[in-house]
Every structure is written in structure tokens, then in C-alpha cells.
Amino acid sequence: MTQPTHEEIAKKAYALYLARGARDGHDIDDWLDSERSLKAQPLGSAREESVATEQYENADLEERTPG
């Protein structure tokens, strides 16, 4: 089990918020539910692709950053 990234949790929490009709007041619950759900999800298909994409984007950014 790997730790989900901040971005993964944020995206899932936002999806929960939208699914509830964009009603405020459940942000902490959405965050914790999302984090718990992603931690329980094996690093397979969707999570693996997300992590790989993030690593690729970070590497690409580092290459373009003047040093």
C-alpha cells in the first residue's frame, strides 16, 4: 500500500463534493474518505497511471527549469 498524493486526494475529494451537489460543509469528511479510499486501493491501473503521469510531468518540469 502506498501513500496517495495530495493531488489524488484532492481530485477524489472534489469529485465527492460535486457528486453531493456542490454543497459546502463536508470538506474534511470528503478529504478523509478520499484518503482512506485511495490508501485501500491497490497500486494498480488508475493509481499506477496517475503516479506515473505525475512522475513524468515532474521530470519534464525539472528538465525545463534552468539550473
Would you say residue 25 lies in a domain? yes
- Compute CA distances 23 → 15, 18, 28, 64, whole Å: 12, 8, 13, 40
pLDDT for the residue numbered 53: 56
pLDDT surpassing 70 at residue 46: no
Would you say residue 1 lies in a domain? no
pLDDT for the residue numbered 47: 59
Q: What are phi and psi of 53, to 5 degrees?
A: -65, -45
Among the ranges given (4-8, 25-29, 56-60), the one the predictor scored with the smallest mean pLDDT: 56-60
By residue range, what is the domain housing residue 57? 6-64
pLDDT for the residue numbered 59: 59
The domain tally of the chain equals: 1
- pTM for the model stands at 0.62
